[in-house]
């Protein structure tokens, strides 16, 4: 709110008053260096460059890969993300959304998740006080939109094929941060923002504690052709099976995108199958009737009756997911899944953003949304700092960013990790507890609203 007021009242004279104190004479010196130009780094660079209070700051974006030349084609990319409504707001503000809208995206009006080992399910839809719960967008399309917007920014310099070899962080007050590339080039800055993903060089240089583990699972993605043309393919489906989760994310009336999380061994086998065999396996995993435990069945039925008498939605009325007829050629690919969290996101003159700071299991579709949430917070805090005449590397300001984001990210990450663990067992007491929990959550509208709100920030 404060930032919005500041942005409106910010005048050109104020821009001059807070002109960068850095040595602009040195062409390799920048006020801000963004390390890593993935979805998070490219968006962060654009957001800060477009912040009117920071418009006189020199920003450099360093990305290891070659220039991004992707152009939209009729064929969908196999990598998509489910963006939350807050991410859409950010994209609208910085001009990405119009490019995405011009190409394509798929709004999700309902999410239905259900347990293969019991009758319990949960759904989130527009009745839970939001019009659309998520938007499915191709990763490449986000980068494409970022590319168009970033190219027009006078205060942003982008260097591709620029792999960071090392970062020398400032120890004393007046020292600059130095970033050295593998090709020998080097740059200095007042503020270094690490958006260089899970194996972040910036995080390594900070020497922060990092808690991480591998789920011994992979996420298999593919573009699926549905058996029937579904006029309203607006539902995201997620089935919890004993070996992991299967999610179908709508793309258009005939296609959905798959994220199948399963053990490393199973995924390796699934990748080896012919397309026809793979489709059979997938349909079987989506539709297979697992033997249900009597105790769990009785308990969920009993809870269902109690909820009915209380006039709460007693669920059980599941909608049926679509079945799959084929997959797009060569669209299968798999990615290792892990958890990771940096105990500190900041130190003087440095901050971690996106997967460099936190990595989650994709079962809740939250990973990159957390990164976009980091961007909103950092944009506001740095804007306020610059407006008040403070340096961008001010530790107290960066601390505000860390506190705000960890307060949001840590509970979300723990909830996702808990869900992952809860749903990869067929141990009856756990199945019983999670089924009753899911059923209760489904019935309690305020709880569902709270979950949607947490997932949207």
Q: How far is the CB of 397 from ligand FAD (least distance, A)?
A: 22
Which run of H or of E encompasses 321? none
Which of 61, 81, 205, 222 lies at the binding interface for ligand FAD (CB under 6 A)?
81
Angle at 407 between CA 402 and CA 413, to 5 degrees: 105
Which of 195, 351, 385, 438 lies at the binding interface for ligand FAD (CB under 6 A)?
195
Q: How far is the CB of 417 from ligand FAD (least distance, A)?
A: 14
CA dist list (Å): 424 to 254, 338, 430: 30, 15, 10
Handedness of CA 161, 167, 168, 171 (dihedral sign): positive
Q: Is 196 in the site for ligand FAD (CB under 6 A)?
A: yes
Which of 61, 206, 221, 222 lies at the binding interface for ligand FAD (CB under 6 A)?
221
Q: Quick one: which segment of 49-57, 197-205, 276-284, 394-402 binds ligand FAD (CB under 6 A)? A: 197-205
Which of 10, 37, 194, 296 lies at the binding interface for ligand FAD (CB under 6 A)?
37
Q: How far is the CB of 111 from ligand FAD (least distance, A)?
A: 11
Report how far Cα 359 is from the mean position of its chain's Cα atoms. Answer: 9
Which of 47, 59, 190, 219 lies at the binding interface for ligand FAD (CB under 6 A)?
219
> Which residue is associated with the tokens 């997959």?
327
325 versus 333: smaller Cβ distance to ligand FAD: 333
Which of 194, 250, 371, 383 lies at the binding interface for ligand FAD (CB under 6 A)?
371
Are 366 and 354 in contact, with CB atoms under 8 Å apart?
A: no
Q: Is 68 in the site for ligand FAD (CB under 6 A)?
A: no
Please give the full DSSP string across 162-230, using - where no structure is assigned.
--EEEEE---STTPPEEEEETTS-EEEEEEEEE---TT-HHHHHHT--EEEEEEEEEEEEEEEEESS--
Q: Is 374 in the site for ligand FAD (CB under 6 A)?
A: no
Which single residue brings its beta carbon nearest to ligand FAD?
38
Q: Between 367-387 and 395-422, two packed helices, what is the crossing angle to 10 degrees?
A: 170
User: Taking CB under 6 A as the rule, which mask of x and - marks residues 274-313 in contact with ligand FAD?
Assistant: ----------------------------------------
Of 40, 66, 38, 61, nearest in space to 49 by CA: 61
Q: Is 366 in the site for ligand FAD (CB under 6 A)?
A: yes
- Dmax over Cα atoms in the chain, in whole Å? 76
Q: How far is the CB of 178 from ligand FAD (least distance, A)?
A: 14
Q: Is 64 in the site for ligand FAD (CB under 6 A)?
A: yes
Which of 108, 258, 327, 368 lies at the binding interface for ligand FAD (CB under 6 A)?
368
Q: Quick one: which segment of 35-43, 53-61, 147-155, 433-441 binds ligand FAD (CB under 6 A)? A: 35-43
Of 268, 448, 222, 415, nearest in space to 423 by CA: 415
Q: Tokens standing for 419?
A: 């869900």
Report how far Cα 154 is from the mean position of its chain's Cα atoms. Answer: 28
Q: How far is the CB of 264 from ligand FAD (least distance, A)?
A: 14
Q: Is 36 in the site for ligand FAD (CB under 6 A)?
A: yes
Which of 250, 322, 365, 383 lies at the binding interface for ligand FAD (CB under 6 A)?
365
CA dist list (Å): 141 to 25, 93, 98, 103: 36, 17, 11, 8
User: Taking CB under 6 A as the rule, which mask of x and - marks residues 199-218 in contact with ligand FAD?
Assistant: --x-----------------
Q: Tokens standing for 57?
A: 């700051």
**Reduced 3-state DSSP string for 439-451:** HHHHHCHHHHHHH
Q: How far is the CB of 438 from ligand FAD (least distance, A)?
A: 20
Are 360 and 367 in contact, with CB atoms under 8 Å apart?
A: yes
* Coil/strand/helix, residue 132: coil
Size of the site for ligand FAD (CB under 6 A): 33
Which of 49, 315, 369, 435 lies at the binding interface for ligand FAD (CB under 6 A)?
369
140 versus 366: smaller Cβ distance to ligand FAD: 366
Q: Quick one: which segment of 32-40, 228-236, 378-386, 398-406 binds ligand FAD (CB under 6 A)? A: 32-40
Q: How many CB atoms lie within 10 A of CB 440?
A: 17
DSSP annotation of 291: P
CA dist list (Å): 329 to 76, 224, 250, 278: 11, 10, 18, 12
Rounded Cα gap, residues 328 and 335, in angstroms: 18
Q: Is 250 in the site for ligand FAD (CB under 6 A)?
A: no
The interface with ligand FAD within residues 105-164 (CB under 6 A) comprises: 163-164
* Interaction site with ligand FAD (CB under 6 A): 35-41, 62-65, 81-82, 163-164, 195-198, 201, 219, 221, 259, 335, 354-355, 362, 365-369, 371
């Amino acid at each position: 709110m404060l930032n919005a007021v500041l942005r409106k009242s910010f005048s050109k004279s104020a821009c001059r008053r807070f002109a960068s104190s850095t040595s602009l004479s040195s062409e390799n010196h920048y006020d801000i260096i963004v390390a890593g130009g993935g979805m998070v780094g490219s968006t962060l660079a654009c957001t800060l460059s477009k912040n009117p209070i920071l418009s006189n700051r020199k920003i450099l974006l360093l990305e290891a890969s070659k220039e991004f030349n992707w152009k939209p084609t009729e064929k969908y990319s196999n990598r998509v993300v489910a963006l939350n409504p807050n991410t859409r707001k950010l994209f609208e503000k910085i001009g990405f959304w119009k490019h995405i809208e011009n190409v394509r995206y798929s709004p999700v009006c309902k999410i239905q998740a259900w347990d293969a080992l019991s009758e319990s399910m949960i759904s989130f839809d527009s009745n839970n006080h939001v019009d659309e719960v998520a938007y499915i967008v191709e990763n490449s399309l986000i980068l494409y939109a970022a590319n168009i917007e970033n190219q027009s920014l006078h205060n942003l310099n982008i260097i591709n094929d620029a792999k960071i070899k090392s970062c020398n962080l400032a120890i004393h007050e007046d020292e600059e941060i130095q970033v050295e590339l593998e090709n020998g080039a080097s740059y200095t800055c007042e503020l270094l923002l690490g958006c260089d993903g899970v194996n972040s060089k910036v995080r390594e240089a900070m020497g922060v504690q990092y808690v991480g583990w591998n789920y011994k699972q992979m996420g298999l993605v593919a573009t699926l052709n549905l058996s029937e043309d579904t006029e309203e393919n607006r539902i995201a489906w997620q089935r919890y099976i004993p070996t992991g989760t299967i999610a179908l994310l709508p793309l258009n009336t005939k296609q959905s995108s798959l994220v199948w999380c399963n053990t490393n061994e199973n995924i390796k086998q699934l990748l080896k199958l012919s397309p026809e065999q793979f489709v059979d396996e997938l349909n079987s995993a989506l539709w297979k009737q697992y033997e249900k435990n009597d105790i769990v069945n009785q308990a969920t039925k009993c809870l269902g009756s109690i909820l009915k008498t209380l006039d709460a939605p007693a669920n059980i009325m599941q909608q049926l997911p679509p079945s799959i007829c084929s997959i797009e050629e060569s669209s299968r690919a798999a990615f290792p899944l892990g958890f990771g969290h940096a105990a500190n996101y900041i130190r003087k003159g440095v901050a971690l953003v996106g997967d460099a700071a936190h990595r989650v299991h994709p079962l809740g579709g939250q990973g990159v949304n957390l990164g976009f949430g980091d961007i909103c917070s950092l944009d506001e805090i740095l804007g306020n700092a610059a407006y008040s005449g403070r340096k961008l590397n001010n530790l107290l300001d960066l601390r505000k960013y860390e506190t705000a984001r960890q307060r949001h990210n840590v509970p979300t990450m723990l909830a996702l990790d808990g869900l992952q663990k809860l749903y990869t067992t067929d141990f009856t007491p756990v199945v019983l507890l999670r089924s009753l929990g899911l059923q209760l959550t489904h019935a309690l509208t305020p709880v569902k609203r709270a979950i949607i709100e947490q997932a949207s920030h």
